[in-house]
């Protein structure tokens, strides 16, 4: 589960990168941290079956970021078919169910909860290795429902995304409290939009200044793992708008290195 507290910190973009990375077998085979059972798994199966469930009902951006915004959900005898980015990468979002992308989804909690329940029960996800859940900002209906509906199968953990400034961090503190209260393990914290390197003179600017120590200090204070910091690269947003994988487009960029380090890191890797 990918959580943030505050909106606009890069949750959906991170979710998409995570999905692309999990669905690309090459990323997984080179990781030296796999335990034996995972290694055995790889001997018989080279592609992980990956799913993304977008529960940001009023502001679904996953379809655009994954380049599948024009797709529609189809019904089959075994339920709704998710939309496939590639054979082993299934996605479900309310964005696939609207007649126009300009339509407001004016739904109160119960209706949102009903759809989330359907996403879990009525979608033919197949046999997934990973299900990544992209959430809206906050700690309300969508978050509580996901926890409630997945109580039996369990949620492996939550990755928290933030930007460096205090007004974002204070929402993350609340999100950590949420995880504690509902019993979800916090896999770690990712600081997004960490610094911006001017393309002209290479000077680094802190656009969202870590006035209270940034994510690193928060992670220390709250006892959660700091998974990494991704620099602010305007090409990340451009890739999201165009629906292409930033990791594929700019594999040698410092932001891609940061993303891959985070994705390959022990906590996220083993537990998601």
162's tokens: 């933030």
For residues 27 and 89, is the Cβ–Cβ distance under 8 A? no
Number of shown-chain residues binding a copy of itself (CB under 8 A): 66
Residues between 43 and 82 that touch a copy of itself (CB under 8 A): 57-59, 61, 64-65
Q: Which element (helix H / strand E) includes 72?
A: none
Between 40 and 167, CB nearer to a copy of itself: 167
In sequence order, which ranges of the chain are alpha helices (DSSP H)? 11-23, 25-29, 36-44, 62-65, 109-121, 141-149, 166-182, 214-222, 234-242, 246-249, 254-264, 266-271
Between 211 and 266, CB nearer to a copy of itself: 211
What's the closest the beta carbon of residue 106 comes to a copy of itself, in angstroms? Answer: 5
What's the closest the beta carbon of residue 200 comes to a copy of itself, in angstroms? Answer: 4
Q: How far is CA 59 from CA 56, 103, 197, in A?
A: 5, 10, 30
Scanning 17-25, 30-38, 233-241, 254-262 for contacts with a copy of itself by CB under 8 A, the matching segment is 233-241
Which residue in the block uniquely carries the two structure tokens 């700091």?
226
**Could you say whether residue 134 binds a copy of itself (CB under 8 A)?**
no
> Sign of dihedral through CA atoms 234, 176, 5, 110?
positive
Between 88 and 165, CB nearer to a copy of itself: 165
For residues 192 and 230, is the Cβ–Cβ distance under 8 A? yes
Exactly one of 70, 205, 220, 266 binds a copy of itself (CB under 8 A); that residue is 205
**Could you say whether residue 102 binds a copy of itself (CB under 8 A)?**
yes
161's tokens: 């995304």
Binding stretches for a copy of itself (CB under 8 A): 5-9, 12, 57-59, 61, 64-65, 101-110, 112, 136-141, 143-144, 163, 165-168, 170-171, 173-178, 181-182, 196, 198-201, 203, 205-209, 211-212, 232, 234, 237-238, 240-242
């Amino acid at each position: 589960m990918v959580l943030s507290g505050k909106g606009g910190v890069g949750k959906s973009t991170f979710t998409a990168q995570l999905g692309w990375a999990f669905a690309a077998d090459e990323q997984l085979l080179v990781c030296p941290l796999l335990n034996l059972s995972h290694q055995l798994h790889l001997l018989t199966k080279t592609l992980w079956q990956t799913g993304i469930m977008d529960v940001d009902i009023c502001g679904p951006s996953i379809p655009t970021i994954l380049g599948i915004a024009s797709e529609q959900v189809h019904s089959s005898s075994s339920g709704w078919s998710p939309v496939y980015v590639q054979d082993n990468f299934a996605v479900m979002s309310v964005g696939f169910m609207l007649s126009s992308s300009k339509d407001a989804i004016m739904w109160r909690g119960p209706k949102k909860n009903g759809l989330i329940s359907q996403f879990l029960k009525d979608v033919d996800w197949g046999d997934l290795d990973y299900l990544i859940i992209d959430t809206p900002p906050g700690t309300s209906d969508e978050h509580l429902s996901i926890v409630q509906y997945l109580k039996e199968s369990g949620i492996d953990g939550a990755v928290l995304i933030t930007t460096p400034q205090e007004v974002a961090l204070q929402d993350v503190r609340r999100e950590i409290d949420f995880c504690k209260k509902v019993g979800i393990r916090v896999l770690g914290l990712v600081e997004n939009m960490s610094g911006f390197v001017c393309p002209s003179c290479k000077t680094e600017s802190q656009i969202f200044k870590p006035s209270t120590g940034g994510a690193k200090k928060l992670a220390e204070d709250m006892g959660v793992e700091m998974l990494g910091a991704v620099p602010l690269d305007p090409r990340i947003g451009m890739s999201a708008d165009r629906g292409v994988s930033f990791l594929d487009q700019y594999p040698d960029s410092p932001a891609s290195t940061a993303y891959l380090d985070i994705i390959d890191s022990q906590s996220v890797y083993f537990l998601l």
